[in-house]
Amino acid sequence: MTENKKNNNNFSFTKENLLLAERELKKYPKGREGSAIISILWIAQRQNKGWLSSDIIDYIAKFLDLPQIRVMEIATFYTMFNLNPVGAHHFQICGTTPCMLSGSEKLKSLLYEEIGEQSSVSKDNLSWVEVECLGACCNAPVIQINDDYYEDLAVTDLKNIIDDLRNKKEIKPGSYKDRLSSAPDNKNIQILTEDEIEEIAKNRTKPGLEAKNA
């Protein structure tokens, strides 16, 4: 089981985050405020540089009036919650089948070589962890770094990203094949105007019509 380090025993929401948390609670009926748990944990994690200590779990349990184990169940189930410190740049690499078939194993080896063991923080403040599908499979392989997705990555792209972060350079989120969103990755795609789409829709034969008339 993931070790949950104890510290932050003086943790409490900042004034700003308390307001955010209270706004989340209001989304649920009286007596059901515990349903806001994912948002509340997220706010706490962001306040605490990307991870949740056991003291924060206790704080949230009291804040939501829930048993500590219920909070722990959520925090350990979702990989978006970190129970150990993370680096200033935290890489979440997708290891699920489409990404694996598109080369995520090689990317993982590079992360291991460059940053070290999963869930450790390197001297230059980088960390990584393998996660399940990030929901961008059509642009596999995918890595989330902090809040952004980096897609269609080759090993050299990832190496450049790591080097750029180390040199405090900006990195570019999105596809590294210059794909437009999740469109096919060739240059022959045709972008239709609203009018052209309407024209096509007007002239389209309804599926199954021919069969009915036959």
Closest approach of ligand FES to the CB of residue 100, in Å: 8
Q: List contacts with ligand FES (CB under 6 A).
A: 94, 96, 98-99, 133-137, 140, 142
CB 130, min distance to ligand FES, A? 11
Q: Smallest distance from the beta carbon of 131 to ligand FES, in angstroms?
A: 9
| Residue 39, CA distances (Å) to 112, 186, 195 in order | 31, 39, 41
Chain center to CA of 89: 13
C-alpha pair distances (Å), 53 with each of 7, 15, 34: 6, 20, 19
Nearer to ligand FES by Cβ, of 60 and 107: the residue is 107
Phi then psi for residue 8, to 5 deg, are 55, 35
Whichever of 107 and 161 has its CB closer to ligand FES, that residue is 107
Residue of 154, 155, 151, 129 whose CA lies nearest to 142? 151
CA 184 to chain centre: 23
Q: Closer CB to ligand FES, residue 19 or residue 80?
A: 80
For the CB of residue 152, give the shortest distance to ligand FES in the complex, in Å.
Answer: 11
Kindly state the smallest distance separating residue 133's Cβ from ligand FES, in Å. 3
- Comparing CB distances to ligand FES, the nearer of 67 and 135 is 135
CB 75 within 8 A of CB 57: yes
Tokens of 48: 């605490």
| CA distance readout (Å), 132 to 7, 40, 80, 92, 141 | 28, 22, 10, 9, 12
Q: Which is nearer to ligand FES, 56 or 137 (CB)?
A: 137
Least Å from the CB of residue 108 to ligand FES: 12
The answer to whether the beta carbons of residues 90 and 63 sit under 8 Å apart is no
Beta carbon nearer to ligand FES, 52 or 99: 99
